[in-house]
Chains A and B, each alone.
Chain A
Amino acid sequence: MTTATDTTAQPSGTLRWALADSWTMTRRGFAHWARQPVQVVVNLVFPVMMLLMFAYFLGGGMTVPGGGDYKQFLVPGVFALTMAFGLEGTMLAVTQDLNKGVIDRFRSMPMAPSAVLVGRSVLDMLQSALSLCALIGVGLAMGWRWHGGIAEALYAVGLLLWLRFAMLWIGIHLGMVAGRPELVQAVQILVWPVGFFSNVFAAPEHMPAWVGAVAEWNPMSATAAATRDLFGNPGAGGGSWAADHAQLLALCWPLLLVAVFFPLAVGRYRRLTR
């Protein structure tokens, strides 16, 4: 046979090829972005729009527990919400990819099986990091400020991306479970009540007692409260244990979610070959 066959017949399990293949899959995603610049912009604009709508249409009527400017309360909340809503994008991308014929070619090739999922992760984390940058920029333009040190601010950004990372694996798993893009729509609708069932837009103190209690335990609330605290924005803390330990929960919630959904997602992806 040809040299092309012989010199490359090495096991795909080696880390080197796993990294190279993951990078190739990431480049594929960049090429998609280059083909769909409008989609990329829409993805960046949507959370910014949410921020502006809540700040200027509804913000006038909102009160912040302990007093303070609603915008200062809202901006970190929208950061957390955007990270959580990243779930939809991941799920849709995974579902679309698995329904394309090209996945059969990937699977009939000697590439590292992990590369498809790693490529997806890198792209989605990058997309969310860009969204976060855009939101921070718009937030600053609106008058939002952070009052802590640079280390606290970076820690807050880290916690936000950590939540996004957990959502990534939920999205990958649900995307494979749903299987068809039509089913993704159902999840996209369900994401909304879950998103609002939190302290993102309103303080749980102002909700009916049991609703507020559940909202405080929402993983998104933990991240939002922790980032408010780290940025020195109003509305952090409160009476309950969950509110007082927001930073701990902002670390543990995503950890728990990753611990559950990462093995589920990887296992499910492996079983595609059965």
Chain B
Amino acid sequence: MPAFRVEIRVMPRGGILDPQGQAVTHALHALGFADVTGARVGKHLVLTVDAANSGAAGQQAKAMCDRLLANPVTEDYLVAVEPA
């Protein structure tokens, strides 16, 4: 089976206060980047997955997110698949 590079972006769910994002915004303002009006901080995971095709790799990644990699109560995720 071919290998796929699966990138997963996990972000704090909209509406939930993201204190890390706020701290980053404040720090950027302090450095003079006054045009920054918001920042959110999440996680980026990169997996290498063997699968029949990219669709199957994406489905596996979704199942992984639902069970372990993201908390559905507090986080949203996005999956992107490309050939390894």
A and B are interacting partners: no
Using a CB–CB cutoff of 8 Å, the interface residues on chain B facing chain A are: none
Using a CB–CB cutoff of 8 Å, the interface residues on chain A facing chain B are: none
